[in-house]
Structure 1
Amino acid sequence: MKMPPAEWTERRGLAALIAALDGKARFVGGAVRDTLLEIEVKDVDIATPLLPEDVMQRLTAVSIKVIPTGIAHGTVTAVLPDGPVEITTLRRDVSTDGRRATVAFSDDWQEDAARRDFTINALFADPETLEVFDYFGGLADLEDRQIRFIGSAVERIAEDHLRIMRYFRFLARFGKQELEPEAFRACVDAAPKLEQLSRERVADELLKLLATEDPRLAIGKMLDGKIFQHIIAETDEQATTILGQLITREQAYAIMPDPVRRLVALLPKDRDKSGAIAKSLKLSKKLQRAIAERSPAQANGKTQVAPRLFHNAENIRALAYRTSVETARDVVLLFADDSELPEMLAQLKNWQSPVFPLTGGDLIQRGLKPGPIVARTLATIEQAWIDKGFPEEKWVTEFVAGLDFNGRT
């Protein structure tokens, strides 16, 4: 079988790279898989029997910039005009502990394929002829949308525990309803080992899973097998209901999936608790802040979901002004009642946050004494302006005219 011609194979500099490797190269992994599935290819990976130092010398000789990104494990990265290309020397595992592997370089294509995770990821293609090399039945599994470990699922997971997460991500992206029983059982049995992995690696895979078009089946199976409790122990049935409702709404309104929005659905409906989990997952400060902005708060023992704090749908713009339109839209998708949802989304559509037409300097010019009272007065006026629905500057001028020097009307 041959891989169909694809636009990515014509990237600038790729032909020169292949030529420099003197025919000792094959495309491998996602680029081959996705081309066969006729979906967009983002990353291009190449396998070669050449040693990494040899690869670097050959590419440097033809003026291709190359970076030793993972040279100890055989990987270098060629910097091409249309994007980087990773080139990895064929390998075999010498030893593994579930988190990292010690490898030895090889010149055996099948031996290299055997150390990969799933059959659909172990497909090679010749750059010249586009002939596909399939050592473990990946083409048939791709046809059947079957996610199958290469060889023993137990052994593959023992080599790298993160493959549990990858299994469900690939299930969500490419799989069908039926899970391979051996693979599912191996994932269930090894799930406690996920707690031995760095939280950054787990979080990265979780966000990739949540970014797939519809991860409900995969998440549901992980909960059924008590796998998810080793990722976020607090996720419960109510959370999956919210996730399901969220995805239905995304699809109904043609809104692109967002992993952070979906993660909020799976977290406790308590801003402090969800924030603690986001921190434990070692998410970036930016993502932690995004989760906090989208999570409900607790007040007097009751959940305060953001849209319910506003008197009507139009006031959802107040949340958009204080945070962003994207944040407000996510809160609506997550927590608004069905009856409020269309109007709230309509209020946010194409809305641009206005600029508050007043500064502290303006108040001082009008006679307010400099000091902390300036900030307090400005905040009072701004809140009144927000509550009024962001009226024009004339309204602000008239409002200020009614204030005394202490900021009281």
Structure 2
Amino acid sequence: MAGQPWLEAASTKAVIAALEAAGGKDCARFVGGCVRNSLMGRPVDDIDIATRLTPNETLAALKAAGLKAVPTGVEHGTVTGVSDGRPYEITTLRRDVETDGRRAVVAFTRDWAEDAARRDFRLNALYADAQGTVFDPTGGGLADAAAGRIVFVGEAETRIREDYLRILRFFRFYAWFGKGAPDSVGLAASARLKDGIGRLSAERVSKELLKLLAAPDPRAAVRAMADSGVLAQVLPEAPPLDLFEALTTLTGDAALRLSALLPPDEAAVMAVAGRLRLANALRDRLAAMMRQGQAVAPDMDPASARAAIYRLGRQTFEDRLVRAEAATAGDGGPLRALAEGWTPPRMPVGGRDLARLGVTPGPETGRILKAFEDQWIADDFPTEGHEARLKGLIPPRA
């Protein structure tokens, strides 16, 4: 694994040097995603480090080296070191003392194997030293990374009972890194223990689900979730997967993919959003997709498309267009290009224009302006003749 840019970066070397100055040569190793992704040829975003140093010793070591140290989770053994503006999450080796399916009470250890034994999957329990030498305490992580297997560390049921979120993580990692069929032992354990998902906080569940749906191609993982009953545990409202399968080939947008796992009903979507504690922006976007009203289709003419963009807004128009493409196998490319290149104009008249024409401000003003807007949209947003249109809408005086 030597030669990885993140491994050779001066900022990384500075953090490792600070830890080794306090704890010796084998006191710190890289762990988890940065090691796994490097071995699998994937981009590395976050750099996690496991250390034999206690959190207080880690804080002191970083400060002694002139690096920023943030006690982000000291009670769980985690300190964030910042070097050249890049964060490094540094966690003391741990072993579980007590678990309840949602969280664990941990004790610190100096044993790499004990730390590996409490991790979720074997390919996430890989460690590497500063030179890039990889350590595989479970004995299966390297083979799993090479083969694209997601296998629990130790007994699958034991790992799941420690934290039921690991059921969703099993499918999420399969979506991102899996090849072939999912591990049968892990799949069976997930199916047997799926009711435990109900013990988790809604925020943890929705966050994991959205990460899964953001994978390049989550179709196999979602099919496995459906077949095992896990999907129904999370989204009992989920319809058959036909629309989801088609839509996933059109977009990598997790919000749109999620919409295909929901019933096409605004009230039902709002109920799911509340249950899963979805962010307000995501909730509102999903609701707008399902709201009754302006229809969108890949074969609509440009004038109708502009009218829909004006009334719905670009985001909702594009969301409905992609969903319609998936449902009808139509080609929405030309309309997407239209939406990206067209800026809806502002309504060219207002109350002042009517007042100038002798209309007394009041309910009649709103009625006339609404009628004008409907006609202006229907005529494809003409840029001239506005006063004549207004005059034609003003009722004659008695």
Structures share fold, TM-score greater than 0.5: yes
- What are the equivalent positions in structure 2 for 1:258-407 lying under 5 Å apart? 258-297=253-292, 306-307=295-296, 312=301, 314-336=303-325, 337-339=328-330, 341-392=332-383, 394-404=384-394
SS at match of 1:27: strand
- What are the equivalent positions in structure 2 for 1:89-104 lying under 5 Å apart? 89-104=92-107
Q: Is 1:198 equivalent to 2:187 in the alignment?
A: no
Per the TM alignment, residue 11 of structure 1 is displaced from its structure 2 partner at its CA by 4.8
Report if the CA contact (8 A) 1:169-1:209 is conserved: yes
**Could you tell which deviates more after superposition, 326-335 or 365-374?**
365-374
Map of 2:246 onto structure 1: 245
- The change in CA–CA distance for 1:381 and 1:171 in structure 2 (over 3 A counts) is same
Q: Give identity over the alignment, percent.
A: 41
CA deviation string 1:361-390 (max 9, x = no partner)? 444444443345444443443333333223
2:7 to 4, 9, 14: 9
**Could you tell which deviates more after superposition, 137-146 or 63-72?**
63-72
Map of 1:63 onto structure 2: 66
2:137 to 112, 135, 138: 135
SS at match of 1:103: strand
SS at match of 2:296: helix
Map of 2:220 onto structure 1: 217
- The change in CA–CA distance for 1:360 and 1:87 in structure 2 (over 3 A counts) is farther
SS at match of 1:402: helix
Per the TM alignment, residue 51 of structure 1 is displaced from its structure 2 partner at its CA by 0.8
Per the TM alignment, residue 401 of structure 1 is displaced from its structure 2 partner at its CA by 4.1
- The change in CA–CA distance for 1:202 and 1:399 in structure 2 (over 3 A counts) is same
Q: Which amino acid aligns with 2:296?
A: P
- The change in CA–CA distance for 1:261 and 1:314 in structure 2 (over 3 A counts) is farther
**Could you tell which deviates more after superposition, 149-158 or 394-403?**
394-403
**Could you tell which deviates more after superposition, 196-205 or 381-390?**
381-390
Per the TM alignment, residue 185 of structure 1 is displaced from its structure 2 partner at its CA by 0.6
- Matches of 1:183 and 1:82, distance apart in 2: 39
CA deviation string 1:114-145 (max 9, x = no partner)? 11101111111112x11111112211111111
Report if the CA contact (8 A) 1:12-1:82 is conserved: no
- Matches of 1:153 and 1:105, distance apart in 2: 23
**Could you tell which deviates more after superposition, 134-143 or 57-66?**
57-66
- Matches of 1:390 and 1:26, distance apart in 2: 63
Per the TM alignment, residue 147 of structure 1 is displaced from its structure 2 partner at its CA by 0.8
- Matches of 1:116 and 1:68, distance apart in 2: 22
CA deviation string 1:74-118 (max 9, x = no partner)? 111223444322111110000101100000011111211111101
Q: Is 1:173 equivalent to 2:171 in the alignment?
A: no
SS at match of 2:215: coil
Q: Which amino acid aligns with 2:12?
A: L
SS at match of 2:14: helix
Q: What TM-score do you get using the length of structure 1 for normalisation?
A: 0.88
- The change in CA–CA distance for 1:158 and 1:377 in structure 2 (over 3 A counts) is same
CA deviation string 1:277-307 (max 9, x = no partner)? 111110111111010111253xxxxxx6831
**Could you tell which deviates more after superposition, 380-389 or 97-106?**
380-389
Report if the CA contact (8 A) 2:82-2:88 is conserved: yes
Q: What are the ranges of 5 or more consecutive residues in structure 1 without an aligned counterpart?
A: 251-256, 298-303
- The change in CA–CA distance for 1:369 and 1:193 in structure 2 (over 3 A counts) is same
Q: What TM-score do you get using the length of structure 2 for normalisation?
A: 0.90
Q: What are the ranges of 5 or more consecutive residues in structure 2 without an aligned counterpart?
A: none
CA deviation string 1:24-60 (max 9, x = no partner)? 2211111111111222111111111111111112222
Number of residue equivalences:
389
Report if the CA contact (8 A) 1:177-1:217 is conserved: no
Map of 1:88 onto structure 2: 91
- Matches of 2:338 and 2:372, distance apart in 1: 23
